[in-house]
Chains A and B, each alone.
Chain A
Amino acid sequence: MSTLTQLTVLGLANGAVLALVALGFVVIYKATGVVNFAQGELLMVGAYLVAAFLGVPGLHWVLALVLAALAAATLGIAIQVLVLRWLVGRGAVSVIMITIGLAACLRSAVQLIWGTVGQDMPANLPGTAVQFRGLGLPNAIVLPSTQLWAVVLAAAALVAFAVFFQCSRQGLAMRVVAEDQQVAMLMGISVRWVFALAWALAAVSALVGGLLVANISGVSIDLADFGLLVFPVVILGGLESIPGTVVGGVVVGLLSAYASGYLQGQVLGLSLGAAHDVLPFVVLVLILLVKPYGLFGQAQIKRM
């Protein structure tokens, strides 16, 4: 029982982080129609940036985080302005492939600058555990504070983004562009600026995600592998839906938490120890077969 609660809370925490990473993905897709296979790399770069700035002696950590975020945003804008601007109106293959190319470039850059050896995230958030006793449970539930931090920060970030989209002028502009670029242009919104903004936001949200994951696991190239997990999340939520990312994130988070907690041993010689790696993707395929455009996405109708 306590294990169940434990895993549930862990799953929620992971879900929050996943949702955060997926958010960036969805923002890019909504605004620019690009499926970004480099989201995981953005997360990795973000983590390294944070580590780098926190590593600077005598630099206050708040300032360090701000600088890191700025750097990430700049990177995002650069990607849009230098590369993707050229691919407006190209087919899905090209767009997917160019983000894959970018991913390779980012990995390579990180390896060239910071090497391949993992490093510790400087000044991690306090590594204490929070205990919950009572609640009619046999023994206490222990929560890694890193996980709690993850939930809190991820939630805060998600809320912040939501507020941005709903209330700010820029957010409105982005939503208009997502609806209809023609209209947006007619309204005098600079679509190019919105595209760049979308990438900047995605990079920043990935940075926060990177900070949270790296704080749990340390800073290394492997952080980029986190990117593939985004796909089950966004398919569950629908490529276009920002609230969908939260739902998708939580579902996938819980799924893999329970899997890694409960699935052990072998079935027909197939060891289930690593099933948490694959379950989200199984769900992904099932959903695509049953509800092709995700739980929250809508199909586009072609008229002749």
Chain B
Amino acid sequence: MLAPGHRVSDRPETAVGRRPLVYLRMGLAVALVAAAPLILHTLGFLGLVREAFWLTVLCQIGIAVIGAVGLNLLTGASGQISLGQGGFLAVGAYTSALLVTRFGVPWPVSMVGAILLTSAVGTFFGLPSLRLSGLYLAIATVASQAIILYLVKNWDAVTHGVGSVVVPRPWLLAIRLDNDLAWYWVIASAAALAVVTATNLMRTGIGRAWIAVRDQEVAAAAVGVRVGAYKLLAFAVSSAYVGLAGALTAQYTGIVTWERFTFDVSVLYLAMIIIGGLGSVSGSVYGATFMIALPAWIQQLGQSVEDTFPVITAKLPAVQLGVFGLVIVVFLIFEPRGLARTRQRINVSFRPWPFRA
């Protein structure tokens, strides 16, 4: 009955830490992220890929990872569907951009401002979650998206309305951040920070409480979890990550317009975490990478065949959209737990037989 191994291997100290194999995986991931530009450069040098294009895509992926990690804390962990992501990104982006252009705030400070304000706005629009759940909450977040976007598009005095806010290229110490390579390092480290902190959050009491609220509100309350407070906390924390993503978008692209934050964006992010794996931090990374890289890939494909069949290229956007939709449908039907689950399966199938689950 009493398995001998356990008391030893699960001594509290190591049990709450992680096993060496995991550290190895983390190391590999870090190495890969660090080496990515070099790999890309080599491939580009060999004329295999368009280096500039894919470097841009990498930067976009990095930003998307931050946003997806944030959304997954809200929707995946605490179980509250949000279709307001685009709006929250907008708050972050405009805050950072306007703080810099109007008040001459240094850009890192503007990012902190963006994080705080977005977090506050997110919490406000999270208030309905105290009384609503599931579908009704989802619809409420759709409304928040519509309202924020309306403000952004029409509050000419503050946001330049439907026009655009142009952000000057920022300096990092002595380096002028005006090229994708420089930005890649900034964005990659920010993304890494987001992933690590979110992972930590999920293995402490706060993460557990969120999942408890998601799985079984009644029982959560019965063990002393203040359900409402944790729902709002989820909105606040999630929006903080989203705010960072938005601020990075503003600083990286140097141009902020409402079009980057439409309902489609909210949908895209929801798709990322569902395809990546709800409630899984690593899933957010896979999902973001997949959903950003896929259309880019299709676009490259389209251009490579442009000369042969010009007809296709005109239809390319429609094709991208269709693939987007199909991917969502197929995943929900065949791999509802997302790429994170897929990876687990691979791990299992590669594990030597005696220990196979």
Identify the A interface with B (CB < 8 A): 35, 83, 86-87, 90, 92-94, 96-98, 100-109, 111-112, 116, 228, 231-232, 235, 239, 266, 268-275, 277-278, 281-282, 284-285, 288-289, 292-293, 302, 304
Q: Count A/B pairs, Cβ under 8 Å.
A: 151
User: Residue A228 contacts which of B132, B146, B318 (CB distance < 8 angstroms)?
Assistant: B146
Chain B, interface SS category: helix
B263 interface residue per 8 A CB criterion? yes
A38–B263 Cα gap in the complex (Å)? 13
Instruction: Name the B residues within 8 Å of A98 (CB-CB).
Output: 328-329, 332-333
Q: Which residue of B lies closest to A94 (CB)?
A: B332
Instruction: Name the B residues within 8 Å of A277 (CB-CB).
Output: 146, 150
Chain A, interface SS category: helix
Q: Is the CB of B322 within 8 A of A285?
A: no
Q: Which residue of B lies closest to A103 (CB)?
A: B325
A105–B330 Cα gap in the complex (Å)? 12
Q: Is the CB of A285 within 8 A of B144?
A: yes
User: Residue A288 contacts which of B132, B146, B332 (CB distance < 8 angstroms)?
Assistant: B132
Whether A271 touches B161, Cβ cut-off 8 Å, given contacts A94-B274, A231-B139, A278-B150, is yes
A270–B150 Cα gap in the complex (Å)? 10
Q: Is the CB of A289 within 8 A of B127?
A: yes
Instruction: Name the A residues within 8 Å of B142 (CB-CB).
Output: 228, 231, 281
Q: Is the CB of A105 within 8 A of B146?
A: no
User: Contacting chain A: which of B12-20, B112-120, B152-160, B203-211?
Assistant: B152-160
A101–B319 Cα gap in the complex (Å)? 14
Whether A284 touches B139, Cβ cut-off 8 Å, given contacts A92-B81, A108-B322, A270-B151, is yes
Q: Is the CB of A100 within 8 A of B321?
A: no
- Which residue among B83, B156, B157, B332 has the maximum number of chain A CB atoms within 10 Å of its CB? B332
Instruction: Name the A residues within 8 Å of B322 (CB-CB).
Output: 104-105, 108-109, 112
A226–B218 Cα gap in the complex (Å)? 39
User: Residue A102 contacts which of B134, B267, B325 (CB distance < 8 angstroms)?
Assistant: B325
Instruction: Name the B residues within 8 Å of A108 (CB-CB).
Output: 318-319, 321-322, 324-325
Q: Is the CB of A273 within 8 A of B154?
A: yes
**Range of interface residues on B (Cβ < 8 Å):** 35 or more
A104–B218 Cα gap in the complex (Å)? 37
Q: Is the CB of A83 within 8 A of B333?
A: yes
A30 to chain B, nearest CB (A): 13
List 10 extra interface pairs beyond A93-B278, A112-B315, CB under 8 A.
Answer: A93-B270, A97-B271, A105-B329, A231-B143, A269-B156, A270-B156, A270-B157, A273-B154, A274-B150, A288-B136
A232 to chain B, nearest CB (A): 8
Q: Which residue of A lies closest to B83 (CB)?
A: A96
- Which residue among A101, A102, A269, A282 has the maximum number of chain B CB atoms within 10 Å of its CB? A101
Whether A111 touches B332, Cβ cut-off 8 Å, given contacts A274-B154, A281-B147, A285-B143, is no
B135 interface residue per 8 A CB criterion? yes
A303–B127 Cα gap in the complex (Å)? 25
B326 interface residue per 8 A CB criterion? yes
Instruction: Name the B residues within 8 Å of A231 (CB-CB).
Output: 139, 142-143
B44 interface residue per 8 A CB criterion? no
Q: Is the CB of B218 within 8 A of A302?
A: yes
Instruction: Name the A residues within 8 Å of B127 (CB-CB).
Output: 289
Between-chain CB contacts (< 8 Å), 23 pairs: A35-B139, A86-B333, A87-B333, A93-B75, A93-B270, A96-B135, A101-B325, A102-B325, A108-B325, A111-B317, A112-B322, A228-B146, A235-B136, A269-B158, A274-B150, A274-B154, A277-B150, A284-B140, A284-B143, A289-B127, A292-B131, A293-B136, A304-B218
A108–B324 Cα gap in the complex (Å)? 9
Kindly list the 8 A-B residue pairs having the minimum CB-CB distance in the complex, ordered from nearest. Answer: A269-B157, A104-B325, A101-B328, A108-B322, A111-B318, A105-B325, A278-B150, A281-B143
B57 interface residue per 8 A CB criterion? no
